[in-house]
Structure 1
Amino acid sequence: MPLRSTSLGDLERAVMDALWSHGPDLSVRDVMDQLLAAGNKELAYTTVMTVLDRLAKKGLTDRTRDGRAWRYTAAASREELAATALRSAFDTVQADRRVAMLHFLDDASPAELDDLRAALAEVEQRHG
């Protein structure tokens, strides 16, 4: 399923962090344990289950049946999710995409610009 939404609330982000850091294939209880270990406040099992269900419906997690329960895996890496968010943001300003990119890059550090140049060179090499 393609990523449909990249806007994450605080709890959704914490759940995704648990999946990225300790997954794949975590149960709701596993995710709860990771949230508690990361210093999050105690949450109801049903709250974590609901968040995981919503993330699955957004296409951000994959889930497989394990008896009566589900096991969850992040559908994409942090980097892939960030790229999707950037693409989505630039797609909303199609008429002025270049101007939006310039505004974005105006705040970039020299190191970030070096990373961008290296990434562009790699993409150009891949596409011939």
Structure 2
Amino acid sequence: MEQLWMSDAALTANEVRDRLAANAVPGKAPATTTVLTVLSRLERKGFVGRSRDTRPHRYAALLSRADHTAELMHEVLASSSDRDAALARFVGTVSAGEANTLRRLLDDLVRR
């Protein structure tokens, strides 16, 4: 996902593999078939879209990294038996800067 999020355009499986290989330990780069398997699974889960108009197919993230993170946060909150306690614990661990950002975002939400 990281490679797709960092790209301005959709990527082929080979392009994803090449980007992964550039950051891998020498000799430990994934095979193209492995990348295709992972992309296929991500597509089935709704994280990745595939363009079938070209050969080879091109893949792109369907959600931004921020959207994905927000969805994960919602899933975790939904699984909590005490959302208020979970939110309180989370808020209690943020930095002063993050608290200011949360305060500003909540103020903006209330003003809408």
Question: TM-score with structure 2 length normalisation?
Answer: 0.89
Secondary structure at the counterpart of residue 69 of structure 1: coil
Q: What is the aligned counterpart of 1:98 among 78, 84, 101?
A: 84
Tell me what 1:122 maps to. 108
Aligned residues: 110
Matched, 1:38 2:8: no
Q: Percent identity?
A: 35
After the TM superposition, which residues 31-70 of structure 1 pair with which residues of structure 2 at under 5 Å, given as runs?
31-39=16-24, 41-70=28-57
2:70 pairs with one of 83, 94, 104: 83
Q: Give the 4+ runs in structure 1 shifted more than 6 A.
A: none
Q: TM-score, normalised by structure 1?
A: 0.79
More relative contact order, 1 or 2 (CA 8 Å, 6+ apart)? 1
32-41 or 108-117: bigger deviation: 32-41
- The RMSD of aligned alpha carbons is 1.5
Larger Rg: 1 or 2?
Answer: 2
Name the CA distance, whole Å, in 2 between partners of 1:104 and 1:43. 36
Give the C-alpha shift of residue 122 in structure 1.
2.1
Structure 1 gap segments, 5+ residues each:
1-15
